[in-house]
Structure 1
Amino acid sequence: MRQSTSPDPQPAQSGQQPAPRRENSLRGIGLVLLGGAFLSSADAVSKLMAETVPALQITWLRYAAFALIMLAITLPGGIAMLKPRRPKLQLARGIAVTVSSVLFVSSLRYLPIADATATSFISPLFVTALSIPLLGERIGWRRWTATIVGLIGVLIVVRPGGAGFQLAALLPMLSASSWAFALIFTRMMSATENPVTTLTWSAIIGFVLLSLLQPFGWQPLTAQAIWLGVFVGVASTIGHWFVILAFRHADASLLAPFAYLQLLWASIFGYFMFAALPDRFTWLGAVIISASGLYIAHRERLRARGPLTRD
């Protein structure tokens, strides 16, 4: 799945000492760009599969590979790596991430990859709104203004009422809102949980949840579909891993603009695999959404430095 603009926070202690931060801006930027390429390739293959395979099965195959990879990483470190300190929040985050993945993959059957990716960039705006009831944060007029501007960008991409509008355009927005809940839960756990532990539990919870749903819409899978699903799982896991590593080498304020370049990767894969290019409205809306998200990230960075008289 996409969503490389807001990765897990910096590592915290949970079973093992996290790797130390090593400042290397160029390496961080390179990792973010590579992460976006892997995530977009996973989205492109998911769209290819969506023509014949239900979204629930595509996501299930992805989570099967995701869970196997994360267990292979964590199990050698002992059971302490799998022991969460906030199990309820881990469960809530795992469900939110899974729902977000299913909704986004569902949208790919009907929408160009670039349109779905551009719309999904709205997740930081949902985080701003959810921070009030869930985190008790005070949101000032600057961030509210940026949120409204971002919503205008989404309307430009989706163009409700236009000749090309379809209800499937709402799926990436719903996916982004579910992802925003996941980010809020991640923030609530950031002081106590290691990102590796969090990723592992998200993989396990998603795989179990999707496995329970398979009997309700199962259809036989070809060998090609299985291998493509495995590719989606491996590529998306590598993509998210690269993004997490990137934030160990550079600040979020530096990396955020490069994370939004995932739209370019989505456009490249969309063109070569489906002969589809985003139109001028998608580019305009994406620029507006990205600018509002970057401004919100800038205000978050200023808040982290100290109290602001006006937010």
Structure 2
Amino acid sequence: MNIFKAVSLKVASTMAFAVMGAQGRYLGSAIPLGEIVFCRGLFALIPILLFFGWRGQLRGAMHTNRFSAHLVRGSFSVVGTFCTFGALARLPIADVTAIAFIAPLITVVFAALFLKEKVYVYRWSAVAVGFSGVILMLSPYLQNHAAITTSMMIGLGLALLNAFTSGGATIQIRRLTATESSSAIVIIMTLIVMAASLLTAPFGWVWPSTFELALLVGIGICGGLGQMLFTESYRYAPASFLAPFDYTAMLWAFLLGFWMFGEVPTTYVVFGAVIVAGAGIFVILRERHLGLKRLRDTPMSPISTMADDETDPDAPVTVLGKAR
């Protein structure tokens, strides 16, 4: 374990995603949404292929016997990516980032519904508290109806839908990691997003200016780099230790929003984000506690969990001495 390197990589990944979002917000009114999403995938392949090539994991990355499962995961990503950039074009960066914080809480709900995981009162309480934070963040929009535009309402709906698709994607990734490598999951997902966004080309794509093209390239590079930094950070520390650092995204969102667009988050957004982040961190710590308890209670059965076995995120899962 290398705490300093792990935290540095994780925080750098949140900054890369924040810069990606700021560029997307800047282009939101000038470039069609589908074109932005396509470039996000296309140029993200540059750091992705370099990263997995450096680790020697490109061979066989496109081989899978579970393409339908990848298609489900890719569908979540398609909807989520469109919703992210659609929301950024209509709402302040800090608001979109804060709403996205509910994704870990939605994952708890989906895990109970679709994975049939047992969720006890502690985590359900955290989910309830977290959603109260969301209501607090949304209260300025709900109180001042005269100031709400149709565009803002669409943005709110897209931001909330993005959080739900993130939760769904997390559940599907849990299923895929049992048999699929990280390279296969990331590359196939990226290609699915590109293919879906390419279908929007007949509906008004434009030729960008030199500056706009540079930003489109930057969106893809920052997105791909963020994914790689995120993945690499888990080689040096457990997921349960690093997950709370996801919330540094709010700091970058505030700084970039203020610097580039003069946006200042409301008190409601700040306090709501703190509540949601606190609930999310509680869920993460609770998962860590339960993971360690399961490990202690089953000493004869090797257990591979996201929280407690992150030495090599791409290693095959081993059960009773057999890799699968």
Q: Look up the match of 2:111.
A: 131
Q: Look up the match of 1:30.
A: 8
- C-alpha distance after superposition, 1:132-159 (max 9, x if no partner): 2321111111111110111111111111
Q: Distance in 2 between matches of 1:74 and 1:82?
A: 12
Aligned partner of 1:207 among 185, 188, 194: 194
Unaligned runs of 5+ in 1: 1-22
Count of aligned pairs: 287
- C-alpha distance after superposition, 1:41-62 (max 9, x if no partner): 0100100000212222211111
Residue identity opposite 1:95 in structure 2: S
Q: Distance in 2 between matches of 1:138 and 1:73?
A: 37
Unaligned runs of 5+ in 2: 298-324
- C-alpha distance after superposition, 1:91-136 (max 9, x if no partner): 1111211210110110111111011000001101111111123211
Q: Look up the match of 2:25.
A: 47
Q: Look up the match of 1:161.
A: 142
Q: What is the CA distance between 1:275 and its match in structure 2?
A: 1.0
SS of the residue corresponding to residue 80 of structure 1 reads coil
Matched, 1:268 2:255: yes
Q: With the length of structure 2 as denominator, give the TM-score of the two structures.
A: 0.83
SS of the residue corresponding to residue 232 of structure 1 reads helix
Aligned partner of 2:120 among 125, 140, 152: 140
Q: 1:74 touches 1:82 (CA, 8 Å); kept in 2?
A: no
Q: What is the CA distance between 1:85 and its match in structure 2?
A: 4.0
Q: Distance in 2 between matches of 1:170 and 1:268?
A: 24
Describe the shift of the 1:198–1:306 C-alpha distance in structure 2 as closer, same or farther (beyond 3 A). same
Q: What is the CA distance between 1:73 and its match in structure 2?
A: 5.1
Aligned partner of 1:246 among 233, 244, 249: 233
Q: What is the CA distance between 1:297 and its match in structure 2?
A: 0.9
Residue identity opposite 2:88 in structure 1: L
Q: Look up the match of 2:312.
A: none
Q: With the length of structure 1 as denominator, give the TM-score of the two structures.
A: 0.87
Q: 1:74 touches 1:81 (CA, 8 Å); kept in 2?
A: no
Q: What is the CA distance between 1:180 and its match in structure 2?
A: 1.0
Q: Percent identity?
A: 26
SS of the residue corresponding to residue 261 of structure 1 reads helix
Range 107-116 or range 61-70, more displaced: 61-70
Q: Distance in 1 between matches of 2:115 and 2:256?
A: 38
Residue identity opposite 2:166 in structure 1: W
Q: Distance in 2 between matches of 1:290 and 1:84?
A: 36
Q: 1:85 touches 1:192 (CA, 8 Å); kept in 2?
A: no
Q: Distance in 1 between matches of 2:157 and 2:125?
A: 22
Q: What is the CA distance between 1:216 and its match in structure 2?
A: 2.7
Range 54-63 or range 37-46, more displaced: 54-63
Q: Distance in 1 between matches of 2:47 and 2:229?
A: 14
Aligned partner of 1:70 among 48, 53, 63: 48
